[in-house]
Structure 1
Amino acid sequence: MKKKPVLSHSFQVHLKNQGSLVIFVTVLFMMGVIFGAVLVNSLDPSQKEGLLNYLGFFFQGLSENAIADSKVAFQHSLGDHLKTIGLMWILGLSVIGIPVLLVLLFLKGLVIGFTVGFLVHQMSWQGLWFAFVSVVPQNLLIIPAMIIITMAGIHFSISLFKNRLIHHRGAIYPHFVSFSLLVTGMAVVMLFSSVFEAYVSPVLMKEAIPTNITLK
């Protein structure tokens, strides 16, 4: 019977472990989305009215081109994204940061779920369409980037733990460089997301402003 090469077996084990991590992290994010959508039903009428009033002012400003200048919006968006992934990079450098990384990803899902859920709950199909053009496009870049950084951070933290406390080896620097380069690559992804959010999203949102805003 032919024996499988050790390298091939190790690669298969690595893929299996990464696959399990992908599923876990993705499910965690989806749980946040679902929990956020469910939270909409727990709002009392006064809270819903306050949110609707805010939306009304936002829609009015959007229709009158009175929202923030695109350049300013881009700077704020990129700054927020870079702060987020910078924090995730720092958290990924230690084992104790893993729970916080997971919480950040869960909260991101919760915010998206709540936003989309509220718009749909209050404005039905118009709210769904507005959510689709205002929330979905940039998050098609943001969410995968956050998931990738979370996975890489967990992988680096585990590698650090094994190297320092189990095998007592010092070859952690290449892992650190790889993790840092990956985070830098995701920062570029966030740059494109911010460009879309600042220059394209307002145009799409203006065309999709709901006409029926009532308290339900």
Structure 2
Amino acid sequence: MRNIRLMIKEQTPLYIFVAVLFLVGVIFGALIVSALTLDQQQDLGEYLGSFFVTVDQQVLPADTGSFWAIAVLHLKWIGLIWILGLSVIGLPGILILDFLKGVLIGFTVGTLVAQYSWHGMLFALVSVAPHNLVLIPALLVCSAAAIAFSLQMIRSRVLGQRRPSVNRPFAMYTMLSLSMALLILGVSSFETWVTPAMMRWVTPYLIFKS
């Protein structure tokens, strides 16, 4: 664990870089909402209205099947980032994934706010924000580690620089990714059993407004 903490400290500039890239994606996603046509906004409003009614009427508690569906969805991001970090050509893919994740969150929150004003912001705070406060940093940590390992591969394989064996960096990179994967399992538990209850608490306000 000490080696992993040291690795994280050394990669601080990469964390800043991927965080800025993610924030740019969030801003871009929010701007997309304002660029939608009136018909597209109306379609989104109708879809959200139906979604809120479904959430409000859902009385069955979530089961383990729901948990694994959510967990697998998040773990796919971790797994894809890890795989891209192993290849020399995977670096652009990691950056695209971070930017895309920001776009998705920015578009989601922007749509809720555009459609429902502060009620939409309240819904975003209980449905989008809680688990993403842990999920996004975990993804960014994995992304920074993947970029660092990919750069090391580029220096040793493409540029032909003499570098120490990649066995230890690979082991640390994999251990870090597995640690983030375990953290995401905990986040998925929260998203499965706690977030729906919080959403049902807020949805009556949005149904009334719609």
From 25, 49, 54, the counterpart of 1:32: 25
Unaligned runs of 5+ in 1: 1-10
Partner of 1:42: 35
Superposed displacement of residue 81, structure 1 = 1.2
User: Any stretches of 5+ residues in structure 2 without a counterpart?
Assistant: 1-5
Counterpart CA distance in 1 for 2:61 and 2:84 is 32
- Contact 2:123 2:202 (8 Å CA) reproduced: yes
CA contact (8 A) 1:52 1:213 kept: no
Deviation string 1:91-148 (CA, Å, 9 cap, x unpaired) is 0012210111010010000000011011111111100000000000110111001100
CA distance in 1, matches of 2:99, 2:70: 20
**Counterpart residue number, 2:143:** 150
Superposition misfits of 4+ residues, deviation over 4 angstroms: none
2:68 aligned to which of 67, 72, 75: 75
1:137 to 117, 130, 136: 130
Q: How does 1:165-204 map to 2 (within 5 A)?
A: 165-169=159-163, 171-204=165-198
Output the CA distance in 1 between the equivalents of 2:187 and 2:104: 17
CA RMSD of aligned residues (A): 2.0
Q: Distance in 2 between matches of 1:129 and 1:24?
A: 29
Deviates more, 1:18-27 or 1:124-133: 18-27
CA contact (8 A) 1:40 1:114 kept: yes
What's the counterpart of residue 3 of structure 1? none
Q: Is the 8 A contact 2:85 2:147 kept in 1?
A: yes
Tell me the CA shift for residue 194 of structure 1. 0.8
Q: In the alignment, which residue of structure 2 is the partner of 1:54?
A: 47
Work out the CA distance in 2 between the residues paired with 1:64 and 1:207: 11
1:117-132 superposed matches below 5 A: 117-132=110-125
Q: Measure how far apart 1:18 and its partner are.
A: 3.0
Tell me which residue corresponds to 2:3.
none
Contact 1:32-1:113 at 8 Å conserved across structures:
yes
* TM-score, normalisation: structure 1: 0.86
Q: Distance in 2 between matches of 1:63 and 1:31?
A: 33
Q: 2:53, 2:207 within 8 Å by CA — same for their partners in 1?
A: no
**Is the 2:52–2:207 Cα contact (8 Å) retained in structure 1?**
no
C-alpha change, 1:37 and 1:207, in structure 2 (3 Å) is same
Seq. identity, %:
43
1:68 Cα deviation (Å)?
8.3
Larger Rg: 1
Post-superposition offset of 1:25: 1.1
